[in-house]
Structure 1
Amino acid sequence: MCGILGHPRPRSTDWERALASLRFRGDDSVGTVCLQGCQLGVQRLAITDPAANQPLVFGEKPHRLAIAFNGNLAHPARWRARLAMGGHPCSTRNDAEIPLRLYEAEGLEGLLELEGGFAFGLFDEGRGRLLLARDSFGEKPLFLHGGDESLPHFASTPWACLLVGGEGAPELGPEDAGQFLRFGWVDWEQTSFGMGARELPRGEVWEFDHAGLRRREKLAAPPLSETEANGRGEEALDACLLRAVAGRTGGDRPLGLLLSGGLDSSTLAVALARLHKRTASFCLDFQGEAPESPRAARVAAHLGHPFFSRAIGPEALLAWEAGVRAAGRPLGDPSFLAAYEVARLAREEGVGILLSGEGGDEAFVGYGRQRATPWLQLGRTLLPRPLRSALAGLPLEGRGERLLRALGRDDPAEGYADLCAQAARPELERLLGVDLRARPKAFDQARHLPGDPTADPLLQASLTEERGYLPQDLCPKLDTATLMAGIEGRAPLLDRRLFALARRMRDTHPSEREGKGPLRAWLAPFLPRELRHGPKRGFGPPIARWLADRRYLDALLSDPFVQRHAPWNHRVSQSWLAELRRGHLARALPLFALGSLAHFLRLIKTLPHG
């Protein structure tokens, strides 16, 4: 894991400040290489082959190849063997060398079969070409700015991208604020959030020369093995899961597992045990709440994994601002705080690589809102529009309110956006003081859904999660939280073969469309029934109770700089806080998102305003 940076002609002060802002992503070494036409930099967290510093450079002037690489590749040993057989042996065990050698041997086409969690910039000095690539699920970030008529500059965070380009302070507008407050995330592939930098689309390789973008390719869909393609459901799933987990366990640092006791993390725990990898497992409890660690401890003990846990309280909010500064963007998911505390615990126990279960809900329909979509579509068909509109106006709170609001929508895409929302549009219009209905782009998550109304609603919902919540919330959360603790986070279930197989199983076995059925069946020989069934597990902190503590949010929202530059009505935000303290728990998530925006504004304060 690393922080990477690139610019065709950076000013030295901008370069140094941008590279320093990435230090949280790796402080084992820092390197810069100046080539004719491009400068690359890396803040490295050395997980494999610590002596192989980055950026890696091969060849002689003026025909050098250089790469700034972040993340890890799946099954790197197989790639090294393939390259050696083709006459391009690797001289290091650093994953960064693999795409460099593949490009040397096969050009851009050689990069299209890469799998894992990665992002990189590769510069071909002789041809004046810059290639930017990112993994299929968005596990690792990569932001770029410019590139219309020249080489772009790029970085691992939008903040570093802003710094290295020497741009002035961005302005946070009500449209971006509205989208973030409604969902807790924005689509950085579609918006720059006022910062100028957008995220490279997941699963793509872009090639630039000094005239701009010249070629854009998608990563190839990996082929299924014979067993995965033609085996019985459980047999194919077994082969696919073990291959996916085995491919993401390599490295020179000890391995750990984030184990909540839920199905996804328990699946990883079983797969690791079957691969004969005794893995330290880590869980978290929240003071004053029912503990989750006893169930996780039973899973670990049953499989022979060492187990560690700790309990945390509202003091975890002290890491909130540091997380926003590290990510270089607002973080709207309070479970980031829990992920960071678990990662800190793992680091204290000597772990350098922490596996996590992101992707299981998206692949195996684990969210209730996904499974609600076929029923909502049926309701839209059977119930007249006036009745649905009346039901949508009932004074409910929480999940019931979102379901009825979604039922009232004629457009299923906008209905699913209601299911995902943590604040209703009218409330946000009151907060932001603008008619957001006249700005649909601020809320347009419907672009994630196929427009065909006859399409499978469950598939629509799953694609929405895979293209929105997963890469824009879950992946940044794991990436930032683990790196802040000085370790690398990996999500082995983010595997394209596994997602393809899960979708095929839903299509051929309708009974498995109810969510997580295939995983429960797969776990049956290895865990007792009581450890395979029960409520959904996770690390969601009691954020309503924490934010009610006056030590944290009051001073933040009262900061004079925040009040001067924030696009929201401060009287309304204070009324939300008062409502939360009177027991209106639905205010908690929007208030956390609002606090993240305030921390983001304080980060902007460090740049001169024009």
Structure 2
Amino acid sequence: MCGIAGIYHCGTIKPVDSRRVEAMTDALHHRGPDGSGVWVEAGVGLGHRRLSIIDIAGSPQPMHSPDGRATIVFNGEIYNFRELRRQLEQLGASFRTDGDTEVILAAWQAWGPDCLQHLDGMFAFALYDHASRQLFLARDRFGVKPLFLSELSDGSVAFASELKGLLAHPLLRREVDPLAVEDYLAWGYVPDHRSILKGVHKLPAGHFMLLEHGKGMPQPKQWWDISFAERHSGRMPEMEAELLHHLREGVESRMVADVPLGAFLSGGVDSSSVVALMSEISPDPVTTCSIGFDVASADETSYAAQVALRFGTNHHARTVSSDQFDAIDTLAGMFDEPFADASALPTWRVCQLAREHVTVALSGDGADEAMAGYRRQVFHAHEARARSLMPRLLREKVLGPLGRMYPKADWAPRPLRFKTTLLSLAGEADEGYARALATTAPEVRATLYSQDFARQLGDYHAERPLLDLMGKAPARDALDRAQYADLKFWMPGDILTKVDRTSMAVSLEAREPLLDHRLVEFAARLPRRARIKGTQGKYLLKKAMERYLPDDILFRPKQGFVTPIAEWLRGPLAGDARAIGTSATLARTGWFESSRLRDIADAHIAGRADHSRLLWQLVMLEKSLTKLGVNS
């Protein structure tokens, strides 16, 4: 796992200042503290920070192919590199190192851009072909590893693993994209189709870009997609067996490392499944790490300890105070862009604990998206069925107005919070899922904006890119489209961004065995009965793991990391909440109606409403803008 950066002149070939590449690379020191390198020639410069995982001493970067034809900087891991190496040797390739980086170089020389189809891994890399003078940029199937890029005023394209790498370049404009603010307030993060800064782009997951001298920055090309268009026709026992095969394959392939390796263990189904299979594969006790909280309702350590005892792991647990609000400035610096998923705090803490014992940690991320494990997916599937039984007129003329009139009862027990359900049922299925996924509804966002900012947004709404994605999904029903949206929109923008930044902040490599592409492709073909049964999601996974895990691990309600944001914003962070309405940083932007922000903060602090998610978004937005030093 590493950090990469570079500069490529698309127009007139100009010299590249190695000091600029070095500054961009140094900004990514946390991603690779074990080594660094910079290489430049006319029109191109590549930089690298290395976290040594495989072939610790033998694979420095930037790396040149043995014949000098190509040079690469690479962030990630190729899990099938040994099999690929043998295949490429049969095609005449020779190797000087024992690592995976040189395998990518040989694969490029053998297959060109089609080399991506042969790679099983998580990666973002830049490869310069000296013969064609092209720069090949690529990102893995799911977007586990990030890549930011921007076309600069001197005709060059700069790229880096994180936005802070681009920020080290003096020609980067620091002007906020207003559409990104709308996106952020809708989702709590800036999705991969946009960046917080104008002119900065993220190479989409499963895409590549081939840059050439004399031409402008091209459009990315998709090299992989997930399809829900087919259905598995097997019986449940056969599907269980096939799922277990893919699970074992995904876990075993990600256990290859020349450094200490372990796993995150929350005590939930996904991480417990990974630990169970690691223990089956490994001859030695697996190292596991768990974080607990000093609030009983948010603490899962007893379940993690139960799993650790069951499999005899070398378990490390730490209880941290729920009072972690003093870390939010550090958190804002990790993400560069505003990021309001509060579970980033405990994720960072468990990464810190894991780094004390291992350099690589396997996580359980990806199963909810791939196998319908989120409550919202289960509810959406049932809502879609209910919607299909109701006349459109009833939904539009009765449920719609009723939903708009119904109070937003955040204080009430969950079964009495009907507003979102009514509005969802009144609309179309995809619109309902967009509403379920959003952190701040469109009608609420509209009340926050100043008239001038609303004019800047025009008719743009953050839900539109998501609805377009769902509308074009290779899918058969509403549940398929919801899962497709989670895999392509929510997961790279939120979940994988969170894990990448918090793990890399402490120089820890996190791997996601449940995102093995063969496993996800199999899961996408599962019939609904294998994904959802009653109110249970991930049904086939739970059935398959019954031989390993007890029912109180498999079938208890999903919890996840919980951070008491609502209490913080009424207690120790009440001052920060109140200050949102008078914030000089936000006031300078002219985006919001300050009086409206003050009213929201006062209502939350007084306990009249729960505006914690919105206030947390605004607090993190303010801190991110301050860190970035941007112009609105």
TM-score after normalising by structure 2: 0.87
Structure 1 letter corresponding to 2:537? G
Shifted more, 360-369 versus 98-107: the winner is 98-107
Q: Which residue of 1 aligns with 2:331?
A: 323
**In 2: Cα distance, 1:330 partner to 1:215 partner:** 26
1:191 pairs, out of 190, 194, 201, with 194
Structure 1 letter corresponding to 2:239? G
2:359 pairs, out of 344, 352, 361, with 352
Relative to structure 1, is the Cα distance of residues 512 and 375 closer, same or farther in structure 2, using a 3 angstrom cutoff? closer
Q: Which residue of 2 aligns with 1:602?
A: 626
Runs of 5+ consecutive residues of structure 2 not aligned to the other structure: 9-14
Aligned-pair CA distance for 1:554: 4.7
Q: Which residue of 2 aligns with 1:535?
A: 557
**In 2: Cα distance, 1:98 partner to 1:134 partner:** 16
Aligned-pair CA distance for 1:555: 8.7
**In 2: Cα distance, 1:584 partner to 1:461 partner:** 33
Q: Which residue of 1 aligns with 2:605?
A: 581
Q: Which residue of 1 aligns with 2:3?
A: 3
1:251 aligns with 2:251: no
Relative to structure 1, is the Cα distance of residues 387 and 556 closer, same or farther in structure 2, using a 3 angstrom cutoff? same
Secondary structure of residue in 1 paired with 2:547: coil
**In 1: Cα distance, 2:590 partner to 2:322 partner:** 25
Relative to structure 1, is the Cα distance of residues 423 and 110 closer, same or farther in structure 2, using a 3 angstrom cutoff? closer
Secondary structure of residue in 1 paired with 2:514: coil
Secondary structure of residue in 2 paired with 1:493: helix
Question: CA-to-partner distance for each residue in 1:215-239, whole Å, 9 max, x for gaps?
Answer: 965446899xxxx998911111111
**In 2: Cα distance, 1:450 partner to 1:25 partner:** 37
**In 2: Cα distance, 1:561 partner to 1:215 partner:** 34
Q: Which residue of 2 aligns with 1:127?
A: 132
Q: Which residue of 1 aligns with 2:341?
A: 333
Question: CA-to-partner distance for each residue in 1:69-96, whole Å, 9 max, x for gaps?
Answer: 1111122222222223333233223322
Secondary structure of residue in 2 paired with 1:192: coil
Contact 1:204/1:219 (8 A) holds in 2: yes
Aligned-pair CA distance for 1:306: 2.0
Aligned-pair CA distance for 1:487: 0.7
Structure 2 letter corresponding to 1:282? C
**In 2: Cα distance, 1:148 partner to 1:109 partner:** 32
Q: Which residue of 1 aligns with 2:447?
A: 430
Aligned-pair CA distance for 1:148: 12
Contact 1:7/1:164 (8 A) holds in 2: no
1:86 aligns with 2:86: no
Contact 1:272/1:278 (8 A) holds in 2: no
Matches within 5 A, 1:498-577: 498-506=519-527, 509=530, 514-551=536-573, 553-554=576-577, 557=580, 560-565=584-589, 567-577=591-601
TM-score after normalising by structure 1: 0.90
1:485 aligns with 2:499: no
Contact 2:250/2:514 (8 A) holds in 1: yes
Secondary structure of residue in 2 paired with 1:145: strand
2:111 pairs, out of 86, 106, 114, with 106
1:179 pairs, out of 183, 187, 191, with 183
Shifted more, 594-603 versus 308-317: the winner is 308-317
Aligned-pair CA distance for 1:525: 0.9
Q: Which residue of 2 aligns with 1:141?
A: 146
Structure 2 letter corresponding to 1:406? S
Contact 2:53/2:259 (8 A) holds in 1: yes
Matches within 5 A, 1:194-205: 194-205=197-208
Q: Which residue of 2 aligns with 1:397?
A: 409
Contact 1:324/1:330 (8 A) holds in 2: yes
Relative to structure 1, is the Cα distance of residues 374 and 132 closer, same or farther in structure 2, using a 3 angstrom cutoff? same
**In 2: Cα distance, 1:397 partner to 1:90 partner:** 64
Q: Which residue of 2 aligns with 1:47?
A: 53
Aligned-pair CA distance for 1:531: 2.2
Q: Which residue of 2 aligns with 1:265?
A: 271
Q: Which residue of 1 aligns with 2:72?
A: 67
1:57 aligns with 2:64: yes
Aligned-pair CA distance for 1:147: 9.6
Contact 2:190/2:339 (8 A) holds in 1: no
Secondary structure of residue in 2 paired with 1:449: helix
Secondary structure of residue in 1 paired with 2:525: helix
Aligned-pair CA distance for 1:265: 0.8
Shifted more, 556-565 versus 588-597: the winner is 556-565
Relative to structure 1, is the Cα distance of residues 477 and 201 closer, same or farther in structure 2, using a 3 angstrom cutoff? same
1:312 aligns with 2:323: no
1:443 aligns with 2:468: no
Structure 1 letter corresponding to 2:548? F
Contact 1:323/1:484 (8 A) holds in 2: no
Contact 1:556/1:595 (8 A) holds in 2: no
Q: Which residue of 1 aligns with 2:44?
A: 38
Contact 2:74/2:124 (8 A) holds in 1: yes
Structure 2 letter corresponding to 1:176? A
Structure 2 letter corresponding to 1:397? A
Question: CA-to-partner distance for each residue in 1:442-487, whole Å, 9 max, x for gaps?
Answer: 3322122126999401101111111111010000000001111221
Structure 2 letter corresponding to 1:330? P
1:209 aligns with 2:216: no
Aligned-pair CA distance for 1:523: 1.1
Shifted more, 538-547 versus 114-123: the winner is 538-547
1:25 aligns with 2:31: yes
**In 2: Cα distance, 1:10 partner to 1:314 partner:** 48
1:156 aligns with 2:191: no
Contact 2:126/2:136 (8 A) holds in 1: yes
Percent identity of equivalent pairs:
28
1:169 aligns with 2:193: no
Aligned-pair CA distance for 1:390: 2.9
Secondary structure of residue in 2 paired with 1:54: coil
1:375 aligns with 2:385: no
Secondary structure of residue in 2 paired with 1:47: coil
Contact 1:178/1:432 (8 A) holds in 2: no
Q: Which residue of 2 aligns with 1:364?
A: 371
Secondary structure of residue in 2 paired with 1:407: helix
**In 2: Cα distance, 1:496 partner to 1:425 partner:** 34
Runs of 5+ consecutive residues of structure 1 not aligned to the other structure: none
Size of the aligned set, in residue pairs, is 598
Aligned-pair CA distance for 1:150: 6.6
Secondary structure of residue in 2 paired with 1:284: strand
Secondary structure of residue in 2 paired with 1:67: strand
Question: CA-to-partner distance for each residue in 1:179-225, whole Å, 9 max, x for gaps?
Answer: 2112112322x2233331111121122212112467965446899xx
Aligned-pair CA distance for 1:149: 12
Shifted more, 487-496 versus 96-105: the winner is 96-105
Secondary structure of residue in 2 paired with 1:537: coil
Aligned-pair CA distance for 1:594: 1.5
Contact 2:372/2:532 (8 A) holds in 1: no
1:420 aligns with 2:437: yes
Q: Which residue of 1 aligns with 2:479?
A: 458
The CA RMSD measured in Å over matched residues stands at 3.0
